[in-house]
Amino acid sequence: MKKGMKKIVGILAATAMLGTALAGCGSSGGASEAASSAAASSAAASSAAASSAAASSAAASSAEDSTAASSTSAAGGVEGKKLAVMMHSVADDFIYCCGKHAEDYAKEQGFEVTFFDANNEADTQASQIDDVIAGGFDAIVLGAVDADALSDSVQKINEANIPVTLIDRTVTEGNYVALNQANNVDCGYEGAQQIVEQAEKNGIAVEDLKVLELQGMLSSTSGRERSEGFQKGAEELGFNIVSSLPTEWDSEKAYNATLDALQADPDINAIYCASDGVMADSVTQALDQLQLLKSNDEDGHIIIVTVDGTPGVIQYIKDGMIDAACSQPAYDMAEGAVDYLVKALNGEEAQDACVDNSLPPTIISIDNVDDDTLWGNNVE
């Protein structure tokens, strides 16, 4: 699926492309005002003795102008404008689909889109942003690799007067039109709640839970906030986290962390994964290697709750290997990031508004795993 859909522009290719300046069309407001002015001048020059044919012609012309202005407004007034969709990574299904949907949706609005993958390297993304600014792009959707490291780059975007929306995670400094993400604290807290619910189904008392927390990258706000929410949930609900291990959103690190934790403490009976796109396969493979991978209708099943809601985790839930997932609203996040840029370009939202468009996660369990509104059930 990825190979057929990806359109990733590397640094060298991006630099060559950025060397060509493309002129964007004007806003719909300017076209509408010009049409109104022309119509007013025509009316002032007309006399009562004007022929009905001339009046009819003027009316038809006005109707055509009105239709054209309406069409431009519907398209958001962004036809031909250059948009950079700049993702921190496309290494897992969730973030790939999120970025890809932003690209496709932006094209539908009339943007000319270039896609960038930073491969989780802050220096790479900072260099890409420099190229985008130099290339005269009109707008940016940014999934920042690192909240601190990319703050300087966001401030450069601000100085260049380019509207930027953030997707999936935010930055420490700098302004943006809107932050479009799942509520990551809720993703953590509701993950804790799901572990308790699954434990009750399996006859495990809350005080007997021994939970491994596999964190993401704690220098990213999404990783940090999910951990904060999960640990708050554990404290309030009364279960014990025996180990919290950062994985840096890396599958191999998640695999090794799972092996190490279970070998150090074989009594672990639940695992929270901050991203199933990165960790689901790694965790199940590690459990399988230790001969601990069992479905939830078997004795000795280790409870697993994740975040993202990828097609892969949906299948794991159907198979009983994973118990629940906090599904992020991938497509809503992507469309929100583009819609807020359209508003900014049309003067309907300030470029420094810093709107918090954090959306609630949806819990996936065996009860709703076939729901066709889940983004993971709509990946082509």
Same domain, 167 and 225: no
Contact, 329 vs 361, CB < 8 A?
A: yes
Q: Please list the helix, strand and coil fractions of the chain in percent, rounded to the nearest 5, in that order.
A: 50, 15, 35
More confident residue, 62 or 25: 62
The DSSP secondary structure of 211-279, one letter per residue, reads EEEEE--TTSHHHHHHHHHHHHHHHHHT-EEEEEEE-TT-HHHHHHHHHHHHHH-TT--EEEES-HHHH
More confident residue, 19 or 288: 288
Same domain, 250 and 369: yes
Q: Which residues of 331-362 are buried (b: 16+ CB within 10 A; e: fewer)?
A: bbbbbbbbbbbbbbbeeebebebebebbeebb
- How confident is the prediction for the chain on average, in pLDDT? 85
pLDDT of residue 71: 31
Rounded to 5°, the CA angle 252-274-173 comes to 105
Same domain, 55 and 137: no
Contact, 181 vs 253, CB < 8 A?
A: no
119-132 pLDDT, tens digit each? 999 999 999 999 99
In this predicted structure, the answer to whether residue 287 has a pLDDT above a threshold of 80 is yes
Give the range among 26-35, 131-140, 217-226 with minimum mean pLDDT: 26-35
Among positive and negative, which fits the CA dihedral 199, 277, 101, 220?
positive
pLDDT of residue 76: 57
Give the range among 12-26, 142-156, 255-269 with minimum mean pLDDT: 12-26
According to DSSP, residue 375 is labeled G
Same domain, 40 and 178: no
pTM of the predicted protein model: 0.78
Phi, psi at residue 161, to the nearest 5°?
A: 60, 40
Same domain, 243 and 372: yes
Taking residues 292-318, what's their average pLDDT?
97
80-110 pLDDT, tens digit each? 999 999 999 998 899 999 999 999 999 999 9
In this predicted structure, the answer to whether residue 175 has a pLDDT above a threshold of 50 is yes
Provide the domain limits for residue 319: 184-329+365-377
pLDDT of residue 184: 97
Same domain, 10 and 92: yes
The DSSP secondary structure of 281-346, one letter per residue, reads HHHHHHHHHTT----TTSTTPPEEEEEE--HHHHHHHHHTSS-EEEE--HHHHHHHHHHHHHHHHT
pLDDT band, very low/low/confident/very high, at 75 (cuts 50, 70, 90): very low
Same domain, 156 and 33: no
pLDDT of residue 29: 34
pLDDT of residue 332: 97
183-222 pLDDT, tens digit each? 999 999 999 999 999 999 999 999 999 999 999 999 999 9
pLDDT of residue 169: 93
Contact, 181 vs 222, CB < 8 A?
A: yes
Q: Which residues of 278-297 are buried (b: 16+ CB within 10 A; e: fewer)?
A: bbbbbbbbbbeeeebbeebe
pLDDT of residue 16: 35
d(CA 111, CA 109): 6
The CA-atom distances, in angstroms, between 331 and each of 308, 328, 334 are: 12, 9, 5
In this predicted structure, the answer to whether residue 266 has a pLDDT above a threshold of 50 is yes
Phi, psi at residue 70, to the nearest 5°?
A: -60, -40
Same domain, 271 and 239: yes
d(CA 125, CA 154): 11
d(CA 4, CA 6): 6
Q: What is the CATH number of the domain that holds 270?
A: 3.40.50.2300
According to DSSP, residue 196 is labeled H
Q: How many domains does the chain have?
A: 3
Taking residues 345-369, what's their average pLDDT?
97
In this predicted structure, the answer to whether residue 146 has a pLDDT above a threshold of 90 is yes
Same domain, 220 and 156: no
Taking residues 273-282, what's their average pLDDT?
97
d(CA 380, CA 76): 27
d(CA 338, CA 378): 20
Beta-bridged to residue 308, according to DSSP, are 327
In this predicted structure, the answer to whether residue 17 has a pLDDT above a threshold of 50 is no
Write the CB contacts of 232 (distance below 8 Å, at least 6 apart in sequence).
Answer: 185, 188, 189, 192
pLDDT of residue 217: 94
pLDDT of residue 63: 37
Same domain, 158 and 297: no
Write the CB contacts of 33 (distance below 8 Å, at least 6 apart in sequence).
Answer: none
Phi, psi at residue 35, to the nearest 5°?
A: -65, -40
pLDDT of residue 77: 83
pLDDT of residue 74: 33
Same domain, 206 and 323: yes
Residue 81 tokens, joined = 């404008």
The arrangement of strands across the sheet holding 82-87 comes to 112-117, 82-87, 139-142, 164-167, 178-182, 355-359
d(CA 65, CA 131): 38
In this predicted structure, the answer to whether residue 253 has a pLDDT above a threshold of 50 is yes
Same domain, 213 and 258: yes
pLDDT of residue 310: 97
Q: Which residues of 66-102 are buried (b: 16+ CB within 10 A; e: fewer)?
A: eeebeebeebbbbbebbbbbbbbbbbbbbbbbbbbbb
32-45 pLDDT, tens digit each? 333 333 333 333 33
